Amino acid sequence: MDRNVTQMMYMEVRKEWNRICDEARPRMAPKCKACKECDSARPKCGFVSSDRGRSGIRNYEKIQQIKLACDTIYEGGNGDEIDSSSDFFGYKMRAPIFNAPIAWVGNVLPNTHFKKPGVENVDGKAIDSDDYAFSKALIDGCADVGTIGWVADSKHHPLVHFYEDGLRAIKERGGLGVPTIKSWDDEKLPNKIRMADEAGAIAIATDIDCVGLGYMSINGKYDILPGLSNPKSARQLKEIFSITEKPYILKGIMTPQGAVKACEAGAAGIVVSNHAGNNLDQSLATIEVLADIKKAVGNDIKIYIDGGFRHGEDVFKALALGADGVLVGRPFMIAAEGGEAYGVSIYMQKLIWELQNAMRMTGCLSLKDITRDKIYITKEF
Ligand SMILES: Cc1cc2nc3c(=O)[nH]c(=O)nc-3n(C[C@H](O)[C@H](O)[C@H](O)COP(=O)(O)O)c2cc1C
């Protein structure tokens, strides 16, 4: 890390974040404008690639309908740092915030600086993007400020080793990272689980909702390669989980029924996610379904959530509705592109301080104090 990010003042972190966005902007083009606030709104956002992108926009908008209940008259506040720490399968995080997994950077950012030298773009894609450097920025940037990064998997291409690159970054960081394996067939998925085991990953995930990914389409056709993106039955999931001793998290749960099935199959956690709205237009926002999912599974399984969360105050809202933690997607791409691991640490530190300030302003000395009565839903969902 260039500087000790955890020692910086909030204003300095904010200034650095703006500078990192400016740095990243030309390299995020043309898909992403590196907006100060990533709201998924079309037409400026080229990342939400399902037909009309309304699920991604709804994620952001519904979070904005929730407000915090300010109350600074309470016992026990002595001005020390508020305790936002949280347990993730035996590891104590400074705050329950993660980057969300993002696949194969060269596929989505033709102008990325994460390129291996000397090879040109192919079909508008930096086909040989330096996915190891990208994954390392995420994993190290999160770990440097006391949280945990997630890395992704991608379709197979002879020049792309995205999954292996992510695992290498995790292994080098002593296992502090969550690899997110696509829902491959019965041969590829177990192999990838074993690889994650060997890398010592703290937990393993599968984006079970990758079945309908719009951003995998090429020329209007789904580019689904043999073996990729299979729905799984609860029976199959049980078998998959039995391959490893590691906690297994299913990403892409959007209903209480889905959460109950994940629980019964033996998942250790779920991520309430609609893949940034990329897999299905007209789905509900993730924050809208969170409370019902919590009601259905209680404390039987860890509940994480992503989709449209941009600030620590947004993280607070999810915790108040029953989440155990929040993943943030696209802004961490900007962070890595604009400042590598340092950029990732800066954005994560900003989120942590915003969460801690929200706690201080609502009388929450630790995460368990963040309850439903600490927020208002201003319009019924
Ligand atoms: C360009 C792009 C690529 C993504 N790739 C993956 C992936 O490979 N695996 C996965 O589980 N989720 C993937 N996601 C979804 C994110 O993990 C996450 O669910 C989503 O971005 C969260 O929403 P947010 O970007 O609004 O924070 C991707 C999202 C985007 C925008």
Q: What's the CA-to-centroid distance between 30 and ligand 1, angstroms?
A: 18
Could you give the CA distance from residue 275 to residue 283 in angstroms, rounded to a whole number? 11
Q: What's the CA-to-centroid distance between 355 and ligand 1, angstroms?
A: 22
Q: Indicate if ligand 1 lies below 6 Å from the C-beta of 273.
A: yes
Q: Residue 343 pLDDT > 80, yes or no?
A: yes
Q: Which atom of ligand 1 is nearest to the CA of 60?
A: 26
Per cent of the chain over pLDDT 70 is: 89
Phi-psi region of 206 (alpha: psi -120 to 50; beta: other; left: phi over 0): beta
**Closest residue (by CA) to atom 2 of ligand 1?**
102
Mean pLDDT, residues 19-36: 93
Residues 6 or more apart whose CB falls under 8 angstroms from that of 168 comprise: 132, 135, 199
Q: Which atom of ligand 1 is nearest to the CA of 209?
A: 11
Could you give the CA distance from residue 89 to residue 125 in angstroms, rounded to a whole number? 37
Q: Indicate if ligand 1 lies below 6 Å from the C-beta of 100.
A: yes
Mean pLDDT, residues 27-32: 90
Q: What's the CA-to-centroid distance between 329 and ligand 1, angstroms?
A: 6
The pLDDT, as a whole number, for residue 228 is 62
The pLDDT, as a whole number, for residue 156 is 65
Question: Which among 8, 128, 87 is positioned nearest to 302, based on CA atoms?
Answer: 87
Q: Indicate if ligand 1 lies below 6 Å from the C-beta of 207.
A: yes
Residues 6 or more apart whose CB falls under 8 angstroms from that of 184 comprise: 192, 227, 228, 230
* pLDDT tens-digit series, residues 362-379: 999 999 999 999 999 998
Q: Residue 217 pLDDT > 50, yes or no?
A: no
**Closest residue (by CA) to atom 20 of ligand 1?**
276
Per cent of the chain over pLDDT 90 is: 70
Residue predicted with more confidence, 122 or 66: 66
Mean pLDDT, residues 278-287: 89
Q: Indicate if ligand 1 lies below 6 Å from the C-beta of 53.
A: no
Q: Indicate if ligand 1 lies below 6 Å from the C-beta of 308.
A: yes
List of E strands, the chain: 66-68, 86-88, 91-93, 97-99, 149-151, 177-182, 204-207, 217-218, 221-222, 248-253, 269-272, 302-306, 325-328, 375-377
Could you give the CA distance from residue 206 to residue 265 in angstroms, rounded to a whole number? 14
Q: Indicate if ligand 1 lies below 6 Å from the C-beta of 287.
A: no
CA atoms lying within 13 Å on the CB side of residue 162: 26
Q: Residue 99 pLDDT > 80, yes or no?
A: yes
The pLDDT, as a whole number, for residue 44 is 77
pTM for the whole structure:
0.95
Q: Which atom of ligand 1 is nearest to the CA of 207?
A: 11
Sign of the dihedral defined by the CA atoms of residues 283, 109, 105, 113, in that order? negative
Confidence of residue 48 (pLDDT cuts 50, 70, 90): low
Mean pLDDT, residues 235-263: 97
Q: What's the CA-to-centroid distance between 78 and ligand 1, angstroms?
A: 39
Could you give the CA distance from residue 156 to residue 216 in angstroms, rounded to a whole number? 12
Report the interhelical angle of 286-297 vs 312-320 (nearest 10°): 40
Q: Residue 136 pLDDT > 50, yes or no?
A: yes
Could you give the CA distance from residue 296 to residue 301 in angstroms, rounded to a whole number? 10
**Closest residue (by CA) to atom 10 of ligand 1?**
101
Q: Report phi then psi at 309, rounded to 5.
A: -80, 125
Contact predicate 260/32, CB 8 Å:
no
Q: What's the CA-to-centroid distance between 162 and ligand 1, angstroms?
A: 15
Q: Indicate if ligand 1 lies below 6 Å from the C-beta of 180.
A: yes
Contact predicate 98/150, CB 8 Å:
yes
Q: Indicate if ligand 1 lies below 6 Å from the C-beta of 105.
A: no
The pLDDT, as a whole number, for residue 49 is 55
Pairing status of strand 375-377 against strand 66-68: antiparallel
Helix (H, G, I), strand (E, B) or coil at 175: coil
Token pair, residue 299, equals 């404390």
Q: Indicate if ligand 1 lies below 6 Å from the C-beta of 306.
A: yes
100 by Cβ neighbours in 10 Å (0-12 / 13-18 / 19+) ranks as buried
Question: Which among 202, 206, 137 is positioned nearest to 165, based on CA atoms?
Answer: 137
Confidence of residue 51 (pLDDT cuts 50, 70, 90): low
**Local structure of residue 272 (DSSP, 8 states):** E
Q: What's the CA-to-centroid distance between 99 and ligand 1, angstroms?
A: 10
* Average pLDDT in the chain: 90
Sign of the dihedral defined by the CA atoms of residues 89, 91, 95, 99, in that order? negative
The pLDDT, as a whole number, for residue 154 is 80
Q: Which atom of ligand 1 is nearest to the CA of 150?
A: 17
Could you give the CA distance from residue 130 to residue 132 in angstroms, rounded to a whole number? 5
Q: Indicate if ligand 1 lies below 6 Å from the C-beta of 88.
A: no
Q: Residue 226 pLDDT > 90, yes or no?
A: no
Mean pLDDT, residues 72-91: 90
Q: What's the CA-to-centroid distance between 106 and ligand 1, angstroms?
A: 14
Q: Indicate if ligand 1 lies below 6 Å from the C-beta of 209.
A: no
